[in-house]
Amino acid sequence: MRDAPMIVTRRHALGLAAGLGLSAATAPLRRAAAADLAHATLRVAAFRGMDQTLLAATGLDDFPYRVAFSEFNSGNLIAQAINADAVDLGMWSEIPMVFAASAGARIAVVATMEGPTTDQALLVPAGSPARSVTDLRGKRVGYIKATTAHYFLLRMLAQHGMSFADIHPIALGMSDGLTAMKAGSLDAWATYGYAIQTLEADGTARILQSAADILSGHYFVGANPRGLDNPDFRAAAADYIRRLGKAYATLGTDKPRWARAVAPVIKVPEPLVLAYLQTQNRPYAPRAWRQGDITGAQSVADTFVTAGVLPPGTNIGAVFSPALTPLLPA
């Protein structure tokens, strides 16, 4: 699923604000109204079936600036792309951000996206005798490195007095993990998203343990810091984030419509997409990041430090930028 502001309008600040359900009375909006976005471009990294699909489905893709979408299947790859100056805006969970910050990557966390935690789980083959994480000692367990799957697998093992030393961990990308699970090459797989519904529906796998109560539900919007000094870039980025929030709010009240829009894009049967959406435990909603978000993310970093995955002294506060804070919901 996958760290930028000033809000603007097309020709009249009040027109855009009304269209997006925003307040046109704020000083940040008035300042942003002066920005000329006709020549601005945002290179946006997104997951399949998310930003581009949802904005189009809600008619919110009529940007007053150019948007070039690129598709990614994990947040760690999005963070790497921003660091490499290949994209300008993207979203990831706390985990890719922690790894990127530890590596000194050139990223800037500019907003938080509240979201569900119900689409993350540790799967086992449908016929597996495993009934607990303790049954995975010495077994082949796949995970997606530097993502929520990596984090919640560590936490699940720790809950049972175990670590990576007690299993045979195998780092796999999303597509490779899905293939390995279908081929019976894994004893378990820590994963997320529609892969869970797909494997459950075809009888390949079942959930051994959900990560719903382990994850925070905080996703971060990352921006390319190279652009944050540019008022047009900030204006476009803030406008984009608020449009995305409006799309989520609109579709959150009509899950069947959401499923109809997404299913053909991700090539998952519509009933499975709808089931996935209906089990979400909280809505998506963007806001400015808060100090508590940094504290929570630091706790995640400390988990990886304890596991020996990240070096001692890893501090992630420096990657948070207030550049868009005045322009986003608090």
Where in the chain are the domains? 41-116+217-327, 120-210
pLDDT at 197: 85
CA 7 to mean position of chain CA atoms? 22
Q: What is the pLDDT of residues 9-18, one digit of tens each?
A: 222 222 323 3
Q: Identical fold at 41-116+217-327 and 120-210? A: yes
Helix, strand, or coil here: 59? coil
CA proximity to 322, closest of 171, 137, 108, 124: 108
Q: What is the pLDDT of residues 174-195, one digit of tens each?
A: 999 999 999 999 999 999 988 8
Mean pLDDT for the stretch of residues 189-205? 92
Q: What is the pLDDT of residues 34-80, one digit of tens each?
A: 457 888 999 999 999 999 999 999 999 999 999 999 999 888 899 99
Range list of β-strands (E), the chain: 41-47, 66-72, 89-93, 108-114, 120-125, 140-143, 168-171, 188-192, 205-210, 218-223, 285-287
- Tell me yes or no: is domain 41-116+217-327 CATH 3.40.190.10: yes
Cα–Cα distance for residue pair 279/200, rounded to 1 Å: 14
Cα–Cα distance for residue pair 99/309, rounded to 1 Å: 9
Mean pLDDT for the stretch of residues 286-312? 95
Specify whether the CB–CB gap between 70 and 45 falls below 8 A.
Answer: yes
pLDDT at 35: 53
Residue found by looking up tokens 């009040």 in the block: 14
Specify whether the CB–CB gap between 152 and 93 falls below 8 A.
Answer: no
CATH superfamily placement of domain 120-210: Periplasmic binding protein-like II (3.40.190.10)
Q: What percent of the chain has pLDDT over 90?
A: 81
Mean pLDDT over each residue of the chain, to the nearest integer: 89
Q: Which is more confident, 14 or 156? A: 156
